[in-house]
Amino acid sequence: MTPNDKVIYMDNNATTRVAPEVVAAMMPYLEESYGNPSSMHTFGGQVGMAIKEARRKVAGLLGAEPGEIIFTSCGTESDSSAILSALRTYPEKRHIVTTRVEHPAVKNLCENLETITGHKYRVTRLKVDGEGMLDMAEYEAALTEDTAIVSVMWANNETGVIFPVPEMARMAKARGILFHTDAVQAVGKIPIDLKSLDIDFLSLSGHKLHAPKGVGVLYIKRGRLFVPFLNGGHQEHGRRGGTENVASIVALGRACELAREKMVEENSRVKKLRDKLEEGLLAEIPKSILNGHKTARLPNTANISFEFVEGEAILLHMNQHRICASSGSACTSGSLEPSHVLRAMGVPFTAAHGSIRFSLSVYNTEEEIDFVLAKMPVIIESLRKLSPFWKG
């Protein structure tokens, strides 16, 4: 039996529970205030005011101005919008700098830009070391006159490793190059103050910070040119056509407000739980290895490889105890290929295959950590007994 026989949800980098306060904030915009914010009547106009308020709250969390925030449908749309806008703004520039460990939202877009356009664009993918960190000298050398945009994630979804984005943005700005960061995993987990940074575009996604799925944000620094990805009506000041997903936008505003109020205190509690889980697993299970930098890492994420066992098999056994985690990113699970992130870090095949990502949230408890710490050694030992390679 799990504590209270509930699901133990440790897959928060895949998606998060919508906070009860957030559900309460959005419900009136599904039930009563269903007007179109573009309508002339007061009924619609009030909805427009709610969007304005949400924009203010998102900007507050990011240290941005409300006019720098546009609402999108997801993190993926925000990423595409930023990168494609830069290429359209500077059609003479054909080079993109990114990393080998980006989420498919950026990775696959860059691949398509190379192949579908018949190699019109050139992409430099920065290497990472064994801890998932970048080489800043390689980055500096990659920036050229031809570079239209740099797109580097702030925090990695699989390992939680945090890149030195403020410094990288400064270096891009010094060379007059636009800088985009996919901050989908970082927002709400680490403090961000955009007014003091040289970031031109930033993407975030509602469902990673206790708002619903299907809403995201693209931050566009004041004064930057922007070519819309979705053309249509005049919504979002002409920068993103399409009737607004009002209830989810209101929800995202409330989630950002909560994150701003509680982030520091809650993240330190989450980090203590994560550290207890991580240290316990590494101590109790032989041949278990932490993937990613020990300290430059999100407070909620622990990616651990259990050598000589298959991640999928571990997940199935965990599932029997109602423990939810993930092997690789949610988007790549289902394929038996080891994660491109762990491969880029040089994690050996035997370890990459047995990697599990635990990603916690404010809703996890110490009781749950104790339960997982009691179950995992038993699961790993039973699976290793079946492995012809295990000589334990």
Active-site positions read 331
Stretch binding ligand PLP (CB under 6 A), from 73-81, 111-119, 173-181, 381-389? 73-81
Considering the complex, state which of residue 77 and residue 307 has its C-beta at the smaller distance from ligand PLP.
77
Closer residue to ligand PLP in complex, CB, 64/202? 202
Smallest gap from Cβ 14 to ligand PLP, in A, equals: 6
> Among residues 81, 99, 147, 205, which is the contact residue for ligand PLP, using CB under 6 A?
205
Q: Which is nearer to ligand PLP, 282 or 324 (CB)?
A: 324
CB count, 10 Å around CB of 110?
19
Euclidean distance between CA atoms 304 and 142, whole angstroms: 32
**Interface with ligand PLP includes 105 (CB under 6 A)?**
yes
In angstroms, the Cα distances linking 82 to 109, 178, 265, 283 are 11, 10, 32, 43
CA distance linking residue 71 with residue 49, whole number of Å:
15
Quick one: which segment of 68-76, 192-200, 303-311, 337-345 binds ligand PLP (CB under 6 A)? 68-76
Binding residues for ligand PLP restricted to 151-180, rule: CB under 6 A = 153, 157
Which residue type is seen at 34? Y
Residues touching ligand PLP, count (CB under 6 A): 12
Q: What is the 3-state secondary structure (H, E, C) of 1-47?
A: CCHHHCCEECECCCCCCCCHHHHHHHCHHHHCCCCCCCCCCHHHHHH
Query: For residue 69, what is the DSSP state?
Result: E
C-alpha span between 59 and 101 (Å, rounded): 28
Q: Provide, rounded to whole angstroms, the least separation between the CB of residue 300 and ligand PLP.
A: 13
103 binds ligand PLP (CB under 6 A): yes
Measured CA to CA, the distance from residue 249 to residue 26 in angstroms comes to 8
Q: Determine how many CB atoms are found less than 10 A away from the CB of residue 389.
A: 9
Which lies closer to ligand PLP via its Cβ, residue 76 or residue 288? 76
* 11 contacts ligand PLP (rule: CB under 6 A): no
Question: Nearest approach, Cβ of 71 to ligand PLP (angstroms)?
Answer: 12
Which residues lie near ligand PLP (CB under 6 A)?
Answer: 74-76, 103, 105, 153, 157, 182, 184-185, 205, 216
